[in-house]
Structure 1
Amino acid sequence: MAQLPGQIDPNVPSVARMYDYYLGGKDNFPADREAAEQVIELARQTGSDIREVALANRGFLIRSVRHLAQSGIRQFLDIGTGLPTQDNVHQVAQRVAADSKIVYVDNDPIVLAHARALLADNAETIIVQGDLAEPDAILAAAEEHLDFSRPVAVVVAAVFHFFHDDDQVAKIVAALRQPLVSGSYLVVSHGYIEPGESEASKVDGVRGVYQRSTSGGLAWRGREDLLALFEGLEILPPGVVPAQKWRNNDDPYPWPGLVKGGVLGVVGRVP
C-alpha cells in the first residue's frame, strides 16, 4: 500500500487485516501478520487451525447469503464486512438476482477505501462507515439505500465475539431486529470453544493478542448464548451448528475439521 487512508496506525493490529491474512490476502501490515501468526501458533497448540476457522466462516457466509437470495431476499445489510475477498455478499446475491441491494458497513478506513473502489460501478451496492456498537446510526444510514418495509437480511459474521458485554450484544441485536418485517432474516456467526477446553493458557494467549488489536479483546459464546439472541425467530435447519456444517453439501472450501473450537453459524427468520 503506497498511501494509507486517514486514521490508520499500521503498528496496531487490525482484526480486519488479520482476518485478511488468515484468508491468504495481501492487504495487511507487518504488525497484523505478526499478531495473526501468534494466534495461529497458539490455536495450533490447542488443536485448532485458525486459517480453517476463517475459511469455515467464509463458507457459511457464502452459503447463507446464497440460500436467502434463492429464497427471494433482495436486500442485505452486512455489518463488519471486512476487506473484500473472493465471493463477497453482493457478488453471491447478485449472481442469483442482479437487482439485489446490499449495504456494507465497516469502521476500518482501509476496508472502506477498498470497498468503495470495488463497488464504484455497482449502483445496487454501497458501503457506509459505521460501528456495530451504534446500531441505530447504522440503520439510519442503511435506510438511504434499503426499504425496511420489505424483507431485509441482516448479516453479522464473526463480529460479536469482539464485544465482551453480553448485555450490550443483546441490546445491539434487539435494535437490529426492531425494524425487520416478517420474512426478514438475521445471520450470525460467532467464535466458540468446545466445553472442557483444557488449554486455558493458550486460550488466554489468543485473547491477549486480540486485546492489543483494534478490537480490544475477544469473547467466546456458545450455542445457548446464540439461541437467546434469536428468541422469537424461526431458526433455519440445521440450527446453531459449527459453520462448516451449515448446509455444506456444496461448500467451496474443503473442511478436514477442527478439534476444539471454531465458529458457530445460525440463520433466523422473522415470523
Structure 2
Amino acid sequence: MRPRDLPVDFATPNAARLYDYFLGGASNSSIDRELAHRISEAAPDTHGYVRSNRNFLRRAVRHMVGEGITQFLDIGSGIPTLGNVHEVARIVTPWVRVLYVDNNESAVNHSNTILNGDPNVLAVQADLRLPDHVLSKAAEFLDFSQPVGLLTVAVLHFIPDSDDPRALLANYHSALPSGSCHALSHATGDFDAEQMAAAIAAYEKDNDRLERVFARTREEVAALMGDDLELVEPGVVPTELWRPDGPRASKSGAYAALARKP
C-alpha cells in the first residue's frame, strides 16, 4: 500500500509514520522523511535502533505465542506494517486476535485502512495514560478470562515521570489474567548517551517540544515491570540481546524485557 492510498492527514510529522519510515515502510510522507533525515544526521545509528526494536517485538510475540497466548493488546502500536504483531503471530497461530491502541488519530486511521476490515484485528484511539478507558475498549474485543499478551514497545519513553509510568502499568498488570505476558522496550542513553541525546533533541525541536522523549536507565526500566510479574530470562537487556535468533546485525538504543504473570 502506497501513501496515496492512505487518509490524507500528513500536515505535521508523526511519530508512528517516522517509525514506519525508519523500518523501510511506505506509510509516511515527505515531511516525515525530512525529519527522519535530520534525526539520522544527528544520530546515524537511529536506523539500527529502530530495526533492533522491531526485531525484539517479533521475537517477543513468537515467545508469547509459544506460551499459548493467542490474543494481544498492543498499546502505542503506531502503524501495523512490516511484520507487526498480527503478522508475526499468525505464522504460528492463524486465529490470533489483536487490538492495536494508539493515541494518535493519524496512526489509527492508517492502521484501520491497512487492516482492511480484518475481523480479528482492530485499531482504536486511546491514551496509555487512561488505563480504565483502554481496558474498557480492550474488554470489548479481547477475552480477559484467557491470557493476554500486553505490548508496550517503544512507547513508555513518551511518558514523563510526572505521569508515573510504573503506576500506570500496574493498572494494566492487575487486569491481566494468570498466564499473561508483558513485553516492553524503552529508549536509553546507557549505551551511547551523546547520540541518544542528539536524536531526542532533533525530534523534539521539530515538534516544538510538544512531544517529549525521556530516555531511562536500566534500573528505571526494570522498575516499570513492578512486583506482580516475573521477568523471563534474560531479564532487562539491550533489545538485540533479548533471546537473539541470529547474528547481531544492529545497534540498540533501548532496553527490552518480557515478564509473565503467575
TM-score (norm 2): 0.89
Q: Does the 8 A contact of 2:43 with 2:199 survive in 1?
A: no
Mapped to 2, the partners of 1:196 and 1:221 lie a distance apart of: 12
Higher mean C-alpha displacement, 123-132 vs 204-213? 204-213
Aligned equivalent of 2:27: 27
Q: Does the 8 A contact of 1:161 with 1:220 survive in 2?
A: yes
Mapped to 2, the partners of 1:216 and 1:209 lie a distance apart of: 9
CA displacement, residues 104-156 of structure 1 (integer Å, 9 cap, x when unaligned): 11233332233223323532221111121222111100100111122111101
Aligned equivalent of 1:143: 139
Which of the numbers 115, 118, 125 marks the counterpart of 1:122? 118
Higher mean C-alpha displacement, 32-41 vs 52-61? 32-41
Mapped to 1, the partners of 2:224 and 2:38 lie a distance apart of: 31
Mapped to 2, the partners of 1:196 and 1:132 lie a distance apart of: 28
Q: Does the 8 A contact of 2:74 with 2:151 survive in 1?
A: yes
Q: Does the 8 A contact of 1:131 with 1:138 survive in 2?
A: yes
Find the residue that maps to 1:266 and give its secondary structure.
strand
Q: Does residue 1:90 correspond to 2:86, yes or no?
A: yes
Mapped to 1, the partners of 2:248 and 2:112 lie a distance apart of: 32
Find the residue that maps to 2:226 and give its secondary structure.
coil
Mapped to 2, the partners of 1:138 and 1:210 lie a distance apart of: 26
Q: Does residue 1:212 correspond to 2:203, yes or no?
A: no
- Partner AA of 1:231 in structure 2: G
Root-mean-square deviation (Å): 2.3
Q: Does the 8 A contact of 1:80 with 1:156 survive in 2?
A: yes
- The size of the alignment, in residue pairs, is 258
Q: Does residue 1:221 correspond to 2:216, yes or no?
A: yes
Q: 1:205 to 1:89 in 2, by over 3 A?
A: closer
1:257 is displaced (CA, Å) by 4.4
Aligned equivalent of 1:178: 174
**Mapping for residues 1-271 of structure 1, pairs under 5 Å:** 1-2=3-4, 5=7, 8=9, 10-44=10-44, 49-165=45-161, 167-194=163-190, 197=193, 199=194, 203=197, 206-213=200-207, 216-232=211-227, 233-250=229-246, 255-258=248-251, 262-271=253-262
Mapped to 1, the partners of 2:91 and 2:199 lie a distance apart of: 41
Find the residue that maps to 2:253 and give its secondary structure.
strand
Q: Does the 8 A contact of 1:56 with 1:244 survive in 2?
A: yes
Tell me, which stretches of 5 or more residues in structure 2 are unaligned? none
Find the residue that maps to 1:193 and give its secondary structure.
coil
Higher mean C-alpha displacement, 182-191 vs 29-38? 29-38
Q: 1:227 to 1:79 in 2, by over 3 A?
A: same
Mapped to 1, the partners of 2:120 and 2:11 lie a distance apart of: 35
Mapped to 2, the partners of 1:97 and 1:156 lie a distance apart of: 21
Mapped to 2, the partners of 1:28 and 1:182 lie a distance apart of: 39
Greater RCO (Cα-Cα under 8 Å, separation 6 or more): 1
Mapped to 1, the partners of 2:205 and 2:140 lie a distance apart of: 35
Percent identity, aligned pairs only, is 38
1:206 is displaced (CA, Å) by 2.7
Q: Does the 8 A contact of 2:25 with 2:82 survive in 1?
A: no
TM-score (norm 1): 0.86
Mapped to 1, the partners of 2:210 and 2:143 lie a distance apart of: 31
CA displacement, residues 160-189 of structure 1 (integer Å, 9 cap, x when unaligned): 111222652122211211211211111100
Q: Does the 8 A contact of 2:189 with 2:215 survive in 1?
A: yes
- Partner AA of 1:20 in structure 2: D
CA displacement, residues 22-55 of structure 1 (integer Å, 9 cap, x when unaligned): 11122222221222111111113xxxx1111110
Find the residue that maps to 2:47 and give its secondary structure.
helix
